[in-house]
Chains A and B, each alone.
Chain A
Amino acid sequence: MTPVPADGHVVIVGGSIAAATAARSLRNRGHAGRVTLISSEDHPPYARPPLSKAVLTGTDVPESAYLPELEGVELLLGVPAVGLDPAARTVALADGREVGYDGLVIATGARARTLPGGGDRVYTLRDLGDAQELGQLMRQGARLLVVGGGPLGMEVASVGRELGTEVTLVSDTPPMEALLGAHLGGLLVEAATAAGVEIVRQPVSEMQQDQAGRPVAVLADGRRVDGDVAFVAIGCQPNVEWLAGSGLAAGPRGLEVDEYLRVAPGIVAAGDVVAFPAESGCRRTPYWQSAFDQAVTAVEVLLGSGDAPHLPRPYFWTEQFGHHVKLVGSVVGDDAPEELPAAAGTVMRWRGSNGAPVGAAGIDCPLSITKLRKLLASA
């Protein structure tokens, strides 16, 4: 890819960690040209992890999630990008404006997947407004029906119990198992149950609304579970619709990139929108560390200042039911992990079929990522 000229205009579309990191990296690498960040949200770029934690409980104000201010970056906030013409090198905005670029970073992220039906008391959690609204209802004591047993569903269920609300969680698969495996996932399910969450293991076939306007989940076995409010956390889908007609390889699975995060001449991508090449085809890795690392590499590639491909370094964490879990690498299916000595809490390690360590987790254990990663390098 021909590098963006030193005085070229770089446009970044997106408003969270990937977009902000790309903007900062451009300046850190001494790019002298204009940098414009276009976000559909009214807030400057902010961190999403606190949304299911301190912002939801109301402990922290929304502004506390703002990422460090970007210097020398023009922010176009509250204007969604609605189209891209790679040949003319222009981005079309919802207000009719067109913004030309020499280099483009696509970091439009993902949005919550939704279930149809259930009325207007069904919530998802993706932006600051969602967190404020849902948090307020939960603090008022609304009984909570959670659909989805992934990290977000479990974190919100945990906050609900912390705030003293009744929580029922419906999940078709064992909560947390997909990410943390049966062993560690099972420990969190035990903690959730002990905290008073009623867990119902059934697929939801449809969402309805009862006569009082309350949301009701109709389960595959015919049972009905209701709540004063429902919170649906069944994954996210990439924001690629604005790329329709651009000719880029974007679809429901994400925006396909190569291992250098290149999309087309003058265009790179980073973050939750990206489908990155893996053994089983391109797939998304919607995690903080991926978004951050991809943004740094994407900018190097755009400027022609680096020649290293993006190397995924999976890191995932969650806080729920009094436990803080950090995972580097990945777990191995149903295998029981080995437990390693730890000064506090528990450290677990998983080995792949060839015996090499593939994942390490700290549970209520203060080891940082760097130290957890060392457990994958050694032994």
Chain B
Amino acid sequence: MKIEVDYKRCEGHGLCEDQAPDVFELDDEGDLIYQFEGQDVPAEHQTAAARGAAACPVAALRVVQ
């Protein structure tokens, strides 16, 4: 499982971070730091990552298989 982040859409609300703090983090500038950029999400983080992606209110996170 991979997650594609559309950084242009991201508005820095942080609902993804709220759901999956080990996967998504917003820095003090409000920029999203996605831990597994360009990689497969490790198995132990997949459920949380999918939950975080689904919480995004601006549909900036897409789960791709």
Contact = CB atoms under 8 A, between A and B. Distances in A.
B17 A24 contact: no
B57 A288 contact: yes
B18 A20 contact: no
A146 B34 CA distance: 40
A368 interface: yes
Interface in A27-57: 28, 46-47, 49-50, 54
B30 A366 contact: yes
Interface string A207-247: 00000000000000000000000000000000000000000
B45 to A, nearest CB: 13
A19 to B, nearest CB: 12
Given A28-B47, A47-B58, A366-B28, A68 B53 contact: yes
Interface stretch (A5-13, A59-67, A159-167): A59-67
A20 B59 CA distance: 13
A219 B9 CA distance: 39
Interface in A274-330: 288-289, 292, 315, 317, 319, 324, 326
B51 A24 contact: yes
A27 B13 CA distance: 25
A367 B57 contact: no
B14 A371 contact: yes
Contacts of A66: 59
A121 B28 CA distance: 45
Contact of A24 (B9, B54, B57, B61): B54
B15 interface: yes
Nearest to B30: A366
A317 B57 CA distance: 10
A67 B28 contact: no
Interface in B48-62: 50-51, 53-59, 61-62
Most-contacted residue by chain B among A21, A326, A369 (CB, 10 A): A369
Contacts of A319: 11
A368 B12 contact: yes
Nearest to A48: B57
Nearest to B6: A64
B29 A64 contact: no
A370 interface: yes
A137 to B, nearest CB: 24
Contacts of B28: 343, 366-367, 371
A287 to B, nearest CB: 10
Top 6 closest pairs, chain A to chain B, by CB: A366-B30, A368-B14, A368-B26, A369-B14, A288-B57, A68-B63
